[in-house]
Structure 1
């Protein structure tokens, strides 16, 4: 046998088999078939193929998108037209648009201000491409995992959105933004893009661009901004309305926090030294705006009209901002000018630069035609470019005793009864003892104080209205039912969400913080015999000859005419011989009510003739901090009150506004039996007819016209309206129990008649006092805790 090794591919010869040996098979063994769940798994070939296909599609899609998406022309928002505002007769009133943008070169913006913007928005702008995929993925992941909606846009992407695309949030827009940003980053320099971003960004206060923002917040050019000011403007880019502290004290803490974040980022990026950072203090913005054509009253009116349109969904803010609209308001130019002139002569010209309190004085006013509910005049402040907040529409000052007519109107409308079961009329007699505890209230005991802590004794509702007696009206609110009083106020025109409008005895004293516009609407309903129609501020809005539909409104009888007219009859007494006699300057039959907020922070006069309903408020606010301030000593007076400057403005304005028109008297339909009562002298206005008031109704023994809501010239006047739990204005602590001696600074209290168990003495049509009735059940009311409601703001 040969020792030669066997050749590959040959098998050993079988000696029993004849012929040549067989060659081994060259075919591989058959692969086992995958069974069970393994059949569902992709093979490595499939995975590799899918990855390569996805990569190919991604690369192909990128190149396709890059070549298909071009850099477009500037969008409409970047080249918006102006909106034109007109008086009711078509006379031009104001013009507003993107004219409040003044482009500046990047070299005109201080380097520290540029760094502040970069620190706030995109610190890697100069070193990174136009898009940041990592930031976009991180933002998407944080949003999906519930860590909050976050932006992943670079400054380049934000500029593309501002200038080329718009603010809508869609996938198509994001894709376009992505490719345009890449192209723009290749075709323009970083400085050009950054300059465009600074000039197109919105900073609030209608300021587009860094130059307009510098003027709106600091009254200077962008090139003169300090590091601190630039950091604050950079803060605004994130959310202007949330960080603007001008007139919005609630934004201050949040704004300072964001401002500190920007400065700390500048230190981290070595754009600001730690020592310079430590020396930087928060730069409070000024109450100015550089909006062209919006000085004086125009800015307040434009702001109110824009809110009117957007709040009623006539048009959205973005569309309105694009411009091109002609908006005809309901305002009448002669009345508008008369109102501004009255404020100027009765308040502005009397301000003394040397009197610190005079710096706090603010005035708001609104005038409405009762028959149509059209706003015919509005006064928002001394100048929109100096005081940004509209005093006619703000809702943060107590209305005080101007709320009391709503209580009486509710009593007549609901035919309410006293605790003794007698129907309430103007001559119904109540116990006006100072700090007398309200009867029939199931909540916490409540004992409101009167003006100057005066004890009025037994007086009629008429006298209590004329002299604004808190003790009487708190009891009256309980007799009617605080919930019914609240609803009546809402029906007359106060918004249901009015702050501090709560159903408790104190509701009668006016802790609610309705706006001047809200109160004017409610008083216009009284003047219109109880028929309410929502106020109108816009008569027509059109663009390119096409008129946009305005919300349809209709008149509704919200309280009985007898209730509204009887209230009017009682309020005429306030003007004829009560606390509002200064309103007689109107020279026409008028009805009205004075009111004062706690600590003299606001004084009101709300009144109307048959043709015009107007509300005037003088309020105190610190121009630097926005905090409410007492007006003791303002205009050279010891105290500010509704019967002083507000009533004087009202009288002068009403006389001028209605000059040349027919003098009309009220056409009143009174509640049953009231006409006879009102034909006779008020039994508690003098000694006659009041056997229980030997002092002839002058409970404090002095001049009945020198009370808190008089003209306020001689001092001795005191708070008329709601005060928090406590005694004199500005004090705190619980009211003393019934019978606690008065400690106010007024005249010595008159003990008056003995206390009546149920708080009133009924008076018949002849004005004679009747016997006290046993206490009866009160309207069911829900206890709401302390009747004083939330702390006064």
Structure 2
């Protein structure tokens, strides 16, 4: 006797469905398109149409068709076609238990197995398995996938004419297309009409209704615009990597029918992409301008949106999750937090005059003193004595370098690590050197945003994550991320840091990030030579029953991708954010802050936010320098004074179209807020995994994909060498 073989695993595999944050909207499917649904979740129109097309006597006759078998034998012996005449049971057995060999032996094995299956399975079960198994063409495995791919609906919502078209395609998957022309269209209409009339014959469709639909097969929905496909591919790749880190293997993801619930917000994601691309176009930025944007809800740690590039299908490098750049003065809030923790209060006064030679004790010393290095301020060399609030607002390096040394670099390092910045990235910034306090560490936008979450969340660290839970095909939760939540800094201390960061936006280097009625705390960051520019910030939580607190980081740099083929091969290299687009140079308070402003304005549209807690003024207000009573505060937005052969640019001077022949000097740059020459570059990242918040890989050249780092031997000399804002 012929035993019943095991079901072919391939006929039961299901791809995994990825959902957006609402838990309902599908982000995408990984693996096979099949989604197994019970017969009760299939429209009666589907069942009637398929039976009319393939086996009108299915519920009333045996599992096999003797005439069909006889015809197959004759055709096989004569070398003819073995196809045709099979019942639905036979077709199911062929697909699920046997193979597609067109042989006499396989046909008779199909006969005997079909008889056995008909005795162990009900008709409804066989029909359900059949409809979940068959191939409909265009990548559609099973009826649910066919409904989605052909008509963007579900199997239980298919109409009579839609079901008739799909049933027609069982015979010749993908051939019968209502949008085709010529003979193919004639074939489609004829087959479609034949299915409808078959339903009339079976008594499942009135003749009048069939006549209404006759000759008018509904066209397939057009494939969705590829405008967003590149953005979705970034998200799906991040999901894939995050699932790998959770221990979900590739095979399970491709064939296990998992349901993956994520934190991604489709509206915020769309706003992020639209804002970045619109701003780059508006300011005529070159195509190799790289922007990484990340938004995290500080209350939950959920990553809500991330922009890593224009189109993953064209450039599979994620500048939000994978690339890195030196963060510049974006690091200063962590230096301030460490100083306050060590008892140095906000109203501590320090000399901001520049240039200044500073030793590793944080003291000003005579020029060229051994163990000291000179520092200046990119915003102009003031002679003021300022408190730490003003020093933060104006991003004075000549205050933050001695402040970091007085707080002890070990303490600064520990505070930054506790806040969530990656340890290995911090180590690449050479702790113990003055440039460390000015942000010579290179990080991903994801990393920096994670650290700012702790500052926004009153000193509470929470693991940034984008996977909420993973369920198997039966709805059982099989994976959830392990979230670490801990108070790493005391809330009153963090309120002081937030207060200084508010001054950055109210009157300092980040004024372009102001959000009207919403309070904003943030910090600009720019590296030497304008190799990268950043703005990171947050508002207080929104009001209402379900508050959110969006922390958003925007990083920008220029990177020329490598060319590995053809005559014009080149290595990847970075450029400068100088004389690009409409800008003489770009600092963190320029285009990154503008992107942040436009995006966050949309993200908070229709929402109200509360207020930050007032400063607690933790620590002792030390007088490292005494202010002069006659000193005044310079404007935070200086206006360029251009020569006769120049005209104003956005933030600088540029040559006029017709230069003055009597003046060949270059424009004297007007100081702007953020970071002097110190290193070779900013730069995107290593072989570190995009989902790994503790990325550990070493680096080569920064600024481009696949390299996490500073290239330490080229970054700077030892001791307290400077890095501008």
Above 0.5 in TM-score?
Answer: yes
Given the superposition, is the C-alpha separation of residues 707 and 469 from structure 1 closer, same or farther in structure 2, using an over 3 Å criterion?
farther
**Residues 1:654 and 2:594 aligned together:** no
Tell me the CA shift for residue 565 of structure 1: 0.8
- Cα distance, 1:447 vs. partner? 2.2
Unaligned runs of 5+ in 1: 1-70, 101-290, 353-357, 416-422, 678-683, 730-783
RMSD: 3.8
Rate the CA distance shift 1:549–1:312 in 2: closer, same or farther, 3 A. closer
Larger radius of gyration: 1
Once residues 606 and 317 of structure 1 are traced to their aligned partners in structure 2, the CA distance between those partners, rounded to angstroms, is 35
Q: Please show how residues 522-671 of structure 1 align to structure 2 within 5 Å.
A: 522-544=451-473, 545-585=475-515, 587-611=517-541, 612-624=550-562, 625-668=571-614, 670-671=616-617
- After TM superposition, give the deviation of residue 96 of structure 1 in Å: 4.3
Which whole-Å deviations, capped at 9, do the CAs of 1:93-140 have from their partners, x for residues lacking one? Answer: 53243479xxxxxxxxxxxxxxxxxxxxxxxxxxxxxxxxxxxxxxxx
Deviations 1:278-308 (A, max 9, x none): xxxxxxxxxxxxx999833212222222222
Residue 430 of structure 1: aligned partner: 351
Cα distance between partner residues in 2 of 1:791 and 1:721:
6
- 1:436 is displaced (CA, Å) by 2.6
Distance 1:721 1:614 in 2: 21
Partner of 2:397: 470
Distance in 1, Cα, partners of 2:514 & 2:295: 17
Q: Secondary structure at the match of 1:429?
A: strand
CA-to-partner distance for each residue in 1:235-286, whole Å, 9 max, x for gaps?
Answer: xxxxxxxxxxxxxxxxxxxxxxxxxxxxxxxxxxxxxxxxxxxxxxxxxxxx
Please report how far the alpha carbon of residue 529 of structure 1 lies from its aligned counterpart in structure 2 after TM superposition: 0.5
Contact 2:294 2:552 in 1 (8 A): yes
Compared CA separation, residues 547 and 621, structure 1 to 2 (3 A): same
Alignment correspondent of 1:509:
438
SS, match of residue 309 in structure 1 = helix
Residues 1:503 and 1:523: Cα distance change in structure 2 (over 3 Å): same
Deviation at 1:316, TM superposition (A): 2.9
* Contact 1:586–1:654 (Cα < 8 Å) also in 2: no
Tell me by how many angstroms 1:80 deviates.
6.6
2:628 is the counterpart of 1:691: yes
Matched, 1:304 2:235: no
SS of residue in 1 equivalent to 2:358: coil
**Which is worse superposed, 511-520 or 437-446?**
437-446
CA deviations 1:536-570 (Å, max 9, x no partner) are: 21112122022222133242110111211100000
In structure 2, the CA distance between the partners of 1:725 and 1:524, relative to structure 1 (3 Å rule), is closer
Aligned to 1:334: 267
The superposition leaves residues 420-461 of structure 1 with CA deviations (integer Å, 9 ceiling, x where unpaired) of xxx342442234322432351699423223206624442222
TM-score w.r.t. structure 1 length? 0.51
Shift of 1:73: 10
Task: Tell me how many residue pairs correspond in the alignment.
Answer: 447
**Structure 2 counterpart of 1:254:** none
Distance 1:401 1:546, change over 3 A: same
Report deviation, 1:650.
1.1
| Distance change in 2, residues 1:378/1:430 (3 Å) | same
CA gap of 1:410–1:99, structure 2 versus 1, over 3 A, is same
Is the contact between residue 452 and residue 719 of structure 1 (CA under 8 Å) also seen in structure 2?
A: yes
Corresponding residue number in structure 2 for 1:440: 361
**Structure 1 residue 463: Cα displacement:** 1.8
How far does the alpha carbon of each residue in 1:385-416 deviate from its partner, in whole angstroms, 9 at most, with x for none?
Answer: 1221111112431011000000001111232x
TM-score by length of 2: 0.56
SS of equivalent to 2:313 = coil
Displacement of 1:646 in angstroms is: 1.1
Q: Is the 8 A contact 1:359 1:622 kept in 2?
A: no
The reply on whether 1:370 has 2:298 as its aligned counterpart is yes
Q: C-alpha displacement at 1:523, in angstroms? A: 0.9
- State the alpha-carbon separation in 2 of the partners of residues 88 and 673 from structure 1: 42
The residue that corresponds to 1:786 in the other structure is: 718
Is the 8 Å Cα contact of residues 296 and 551 (structure 2) preserved in structure 1? yes
Distance 1:725 1:484 in 2: 24
Q: 1:492 Cα deviation (Å)?
A: 0.7
Shift of 1:467: 1.4
Query: Does residue 451 of the first structure (1) align with residue 405 of the second (2)?
Result: no
For residues 294 and 657 of structure 1, the distance between their equivalents in structure 2, rounded to whole angstroms, comes to 19
**Aligned-partner SS, 2:440:** coil
Match of 2:636 in 1: 704
Aligned equivalent of 2:324, options 381, 387, 396:
396
1:521 to 442, 450, 455: 450
Contact 1:600 1:719 in 2 (8 A): no
